[in-house]
Amino acid sequence: MAVAMARAGGMGVLHRFMSVEQQVRQVNKVKRAQGLMVDNPYTVAENASIAEADRLMEQHDVGGLIVVNGDKKLVGLITRRDILLAPDDVLTVAQAMTRADHIVSVGPSVTSAEARALLYQHRLEKLPVVDRDGKVVGLITSRDVVRVEERSQASVDGKGRLRVGAAIGVGAGEMVRAEALLDAGADLLVLDIAHGHADHCIDMVKGLRRAFADAQIVAGNVATADGARELAEAGADAIKVGIGPGSICTTRIVTGFGVPQLTAIMDSASGLAAAGVDIPIIADGGIKTSGDLVKALAAGAHIVMIGSLFAGCEEAPGSPVIRDGQKVKVVRGMASLGAAMGRRAAERDGQGIDESAEDQEDWDKVVPEGVEAVVPYRGHVAEIVYQLVGGLRSGLSYGGAHSIEELQRNAEFIEITAAGVRESGSHDVRRL
């Protein structure tokens, strides 16, 4: 999902309910999915067996490996084709690989056009990138060159890699998680807790800012002017707004706290403006249609975060199932009973505790603030994004605006009755 979102021009945020190592691997997977050059490509030693090379290709889901010596210098290239066609007496990588003197390599400053020309001229699929000392620093593939040229709308970093965010919490060890994620290349950290207007969240933002001065930090969630202002003053680069607006969230019902989302956005925006702080607001939750997106932006948001609307997409976790003759996907609120129990089970498994027997105490300790549900299967996320962007463009046109900032200046909100709501959609007809 994070890869597909970035390719469509958005950005995915990897959730935090996994080990640091798992989250880092997911960041790496997104960063390696696209870009003119893959940094630190997967390598294999020349004295390794072809069975080991095959295992590494399977593990990393790649079609080839760069062969290096003990000094990390380029000595060859081995692909799945080399392994599949190797005679029975070929047992090592050195025997099966294409040697360096038969490989075209390039320097780190090569451009996309230059790489394309070389790949075509020599009928190649891969170009190792080496520094002046002959050490491998990257890899360019024909597929990556084509992707970079075809997906000009993709959200990419300075190296042409897809952008991705990663969520962190406020508990013990989260500073270690933050450092590992930034080292892996995460473009922003999202301090993601249900109640962001709290001392521990504000202190965490301050700690992150001290430790990682140049990192992009998103903090939330809040729903008031004071909450947005205090997180901004603590050092956040963007504020996530939304207490209970999500379709699978029951926080307002369970706790009694929350603010209707449009009001929360307006209040948070006014709080930042009054404090003289100019940073983005992210409207998190409640987006059901492109019209909701336009309203959120007009109210003061700069970005929207979408969950359930994308949960039915092909790229979302899980496989489609048939329910009452309709293809659907299961979506779980992160504070739902099932998600909470899943996390507790993972914690118990990590501690080596036998999970074969159900622990009644685990069930008794969970107070859910979300539900599990099914949503219609919706195809690929790029198709949904296309419709949302199309609706946004039309909304800007109706608002006489060429930008989000101009929309916010021009938009005027009015009260609407239940009859007005009914009139806003299709009515008095039988839909096909």
Helix (H) or strand (E) holding 376: strand 372-376
CA distances from 209 to 47, 179, 183, 189 (A): 46, 12, 16, 11
Count Cα neighbours of 41 within 13 Å in the Cβ-side half-sphere: 32
State how far the alpha carbon of 205 is from the alpha carbons of 14, 98, 215, 233, 301, in Å.
19, 51, 11, 10, 21
* N-term to C-term CA, the chain: 31
**Regarding beta strands 321-323 and 326-332, do their DSSP bridges make them parallel or antiparallel, or are they unpaired?**
antiparallel
Would strands 64-68 and 74-79 be described as parallel, antiparallel, or unpaired?
antiparallel
What six digits make up the tokens of 124?
């190649």
Please give the sequence-ordered ranges of beta strands (E in DSSP) within 293-424, or none if there are none.
303-305, 321-323, 326-332, 372-376
201 carries an active-site annotation: no
Looking at 249, 301, 316, 335, which residue is catalytic? Answer: 249
Lookup result for tokens 């046109």: 397
Q: How far is CA 361 from CA 340, 341, 344, 351, 403, in A?
A: 13, 11, 11, 17, 53
**Distance in angstroms (rounded) separating the CA atoms of residues 234 and 191:** 13
Closest CA to 243 of 232, 57, 153, 228: 228
Q: Which positions are annotated as active-site residues?
A: 249
